[in-house]
Chains A and B, each alone.
Chain A
Amino acid sequence: MTRYIFKRVMSAIPLLFGLLTFTFFIIRLAPGDPVSLYVQGDVDPQLAENLRVQLGLNDPLPVQYVKWLKSMVTGEMGVSFSRHADVTDILADTIPNTLLLTVFALFFNFLIGIAIGITTALKRGTLADHTVNVISLFVYSMPEFWLGLMLILGVSLQLDLLPASGMHSPMARFLSTPAYIWDLVKHMILPVFVLGVASAAATGRYMRGSLLEVINQDYVRTARAKGLSEVLVIGKHALRNALIPIITLLGLSLPFLLGGAVIVETVFAWPGMGKLTVDAIFARDYPLIIACTLVSGVMVILGNLLADVLYAIVDPRIRYD
């Protein structure tokens, strides 16, 4: 298994290199100029030209590419065009914010999704099954943007239960540690709900379908015939096999951990990777776009790898040696 993981990681390096090279050329060939956002209003008409020289954008594309390659090899991610700060510093500031949001969102997504799936599968055809299905699909089918705004208007403005936006209260740094954490938790509830809980319905559907398929298998029937309790039959025999598709889903969801969620981050003013990436694209901030692509690329590769490893853990028939 270790050798398998090592091989997979090694094969990912040329893949990432190809991805970044592709991104390098695609963003430079795309219409739009990084300096055009500066040339508005009362500014020096020569600003664009001076900035192009300063940012090295007047160099021929191959020269820019060689310079970029050199900096990548030395681990230099460059300086953001739009934020005028080291790209690594920007990522170091943003990634923890994103992880805080997405880890909890993913956790609740799977926790609630699996619970919904098991409940609806075991109570198939009952009123409870239909009710849970209708409610979860109702929430799931709401656009994130709309759901987020409705929660802000309802829970925050009308009921005044939770803050509407941001990660912290403006003066959070004056709070004691427990109060600071509580302040953070209050700010997280609405975005985590929109991001994680609302999409648990989809996970629930996967889980339901998978479990329904498994509980009709012979080995489950055998387990029941042996006289095992229903908890053991489902928990030990059925669930383990039913989880395989969920693991694929988990693996595919991993890039989201660092990719962030642009809509939720925008609505709730959460400074995460999703908004960072989109802002970088709109600003044609080449170094930042490349860095965000690198982060996403690494997460996609790791997600797939993790899913493959988890298959082997859950399903003893799968071996990579």
Chain B
Amino acid sequence: MSPRILFVAVLCCGLLVSCGDKSGEKDPMSGAAVVALSGDADNFNPVVSSSATSGEIQGSIYPMMFDVYFDLQEGELKFDPGLVLRTERRNGGKDVVLHLRTDVRWQDGMLVTPEDIKFSYALYGDPEVASPRRNYVESMIFTDDKFDVDKSIEIIDDSTMVFHFAKQYPLQKFHLNLSPVPAHVYRNADRKTLRNNPANERPVGAGPFKLEEWVRQQQIELVRNPTCTLPRPSKLDRVIFRIISEPTTRLTELKKGTVDVMRPVYPDDVQDIQENNPDIRLETLPPRNYEYIGWMNIDIEAYHESGGKTIKPHPLFGDRRVRQALTYAINRKEIMEHELGPYGELAVTDFSPIFRWATKHDLIPYPYSPEKARQLLRSAGWSDTNGDGILDQGGKDFEFTLYYNIGNKRREYVATVVQKELKDVGIKVNLQSVEPVVLFDNINNKKYDAFIAGFQVKLAVDPSDRWGDVSNPFNTVGFQNERISELLKLGLHVPNIRDAGPFWKEVQSIIHQEQPCSFLYWVKEIVGVNRRLKSTNINILGVTDDMYEWEIGDPNSYMTY
């Protein structure tokens, strides 16, 4: 057989095979949506999972205590009934009574009970489990420095339980919203190895979807859970999450119509999509992530040598006037417009503009003013005494290394611009790109004088995340301020979230004044959605929030390969 005939024969066979499989059967893709993700899940146990993918998917599998949504008008999270029908506060707000539904069943037919919830909280709070969400129980009752689940959680009857807190605070409901796991599945599990428990790969949930198949590094397939009553089975037969790490490939799949939802779409691709892909609609998420340049506020050599005891100002950035000068010297608006265009918002502090009630709107962003920067640096004692073009003080040049993660194009651009603009005011910046793991490790351990990083704020206002104690890994710049410490205590002890508004506004004024970091911009993430997918409510809680409501306009519109 000549090669040409062989080639034609193979092609014909392929054609026959590809036509033959569709005859007479319903195409399983007809009621399915496909979502492209950049990374795989780590497991499907909400107590121990850490990956963004797991978080995204688990919400559709496990029962939720509340049906949470973010009210953009009011700028705060709202808690509608879920497994919890209603709550009551007692004992001056220290006790919260939960009235539960009694008709919710796990997908294996067992009832979801208060014992499941108590058992789950015991797992979340056990240091041996090392749950990433262990901090959710830290305001409950502790005995001998250990989370005391029996004193913290009291089961009254099948539909009532009481959570006892050490104090009343505004985030109580937020901390009551941890997903329960079925106690009958995990009761005998070894807590030290809970992360590796095989049951995590076969989750037993009670949500609108259940896990059908997980092929690691390839795809995760969810199918509708017909027994779901919380709130109801999904309208789609199935949703397939495909793992595609390369952004260009992900975008190509969206353009081909073989993927229905993908994130993030980069601002550079928006115009092309709008002009050439009428089937794709682009949705913009409200800003939750910001990027900043961290200036180390404390002398890290002294800090580390003393085992964290000695706190004294950083030789370069310890002076507030210097930090202000650095913000003046960087044209943040131009950087933002170049990199994000309309999908960025200039950051003034680390309070997201989505928290309308808590944001201090009258703070004026530092304008780009090299002259003002020079003036402030002069007043802080920095001048070019030896005429080499670099400012100096006490015989030491104003020179430092700026670290950022390798392969992040946006931060590479920021670093280059910062280097150039600070040179204009007499500061020498050396650039150093670092592998992400090393970068995060060193930032969290306060080993860099200056770095570019990002931060995702949680959806309840809690500035203690960033500005708490210096030893907090997220206080990456070692910033300390007595008044902020007082305000944190005041704001985190009010009965209602909004009562903390004035305290948080004062915190922002101080941060704006002190400039512990130069805040760059908030990023509004863009999500691409195929128009055949209807009723998507892609919002700040996640792309797949309310996924059970998704519908397909034309069930035959999925392009089969």
Contact = CB atoms under 8 A, between A and B. Distances in A.
Interface of A: 31-33, 36-48, 50-51, 53-54, 79, 82-86, 90, 93-94, 149, 152-153, 156-157, 160, 163-171, 173-176, 178-179, 181-183, 185-187, 266-269, 271, 275-276, 282-284
A54 B192 contact: yes
Interface centre among A160, A166, A170 (most CB of B within 10 A): A170
Interface string B430-441: 000001111011
A234 to B, nearest CB: 20
Contacts of A79: 193, 196
Contacts of A178: 13, 17, 20
Interface stretch (B94-102, B132-140, B181-189, B391-399): B132-140
Contacts of A183: 18, 561
B242 A32 contact: no
A74 B21 CA distance: 47
Interface string B11-38: 0011001101100010111001010000
A182 B18 contact: yes
Contacts of A276: 217
B244 A37 contact: no
B18 A179 contact: yes
B397 to A, nearest CB: 27
B21 A176 contact: yes
Given A44-B132, A175-B21, A267 B456 contact: no
Contacts of A170: 29, 32, 34, 219, 221, 240, 242
B256 A32 contact: no
A48 B472 CA distance: 12
Contact of B130 (A33, A50, A187, A268): A50
A51 B440 CA distance: 16
B218 interface: yes
B110 to A, nearest CB: 25
B143 interface: no
A133 B3 CA distance: 23
Nearest to B255: A157
B216 A39 contact: no
A149 B441 CA distance: 33
A276 B255 CA distance: 27
Interface stretch (B148-156, B246-254, B314-322, B348-356): B246-254
A185 B561 CA distance: 12
19 contacts: A32-B438, A37-B437, A37-B440, A40-B456, A43-B132, A43-B133, A45-B474, A83-B216, A84-B196, A85-B201, A85-B216, A165-B242, A165-B252, A165-B253, A176-B17, A181-B17, A266-B246, A269-B243, A282-B435
B408 interface: no
Given A37-B440, A157-B255, A284-B437, 7 more contacts: A44-B134, A84-B48, A149-B248, A170-B240, A176-B21, A178-B13, A178-B20
B249 A39 contact: no
B128 A39 contact: no
A254 B415 CA distance: 42
Contacts of B234: none
Contacts of A53: 127, 130
B359 interface: no
A160 B256 contact: yes
A56 to B, nearest CB: 10
A47 B132 contact: yes
Contact of A164 (B17, B32, B218, B253): B253
B279 interface: no
Contact of A82 (B18, B42, B133): B42
A153 B42 contact: no
B458 A41 contact: yes
Contact of B17 (A38, A44, A94, A179): A179
B444 interface: yes
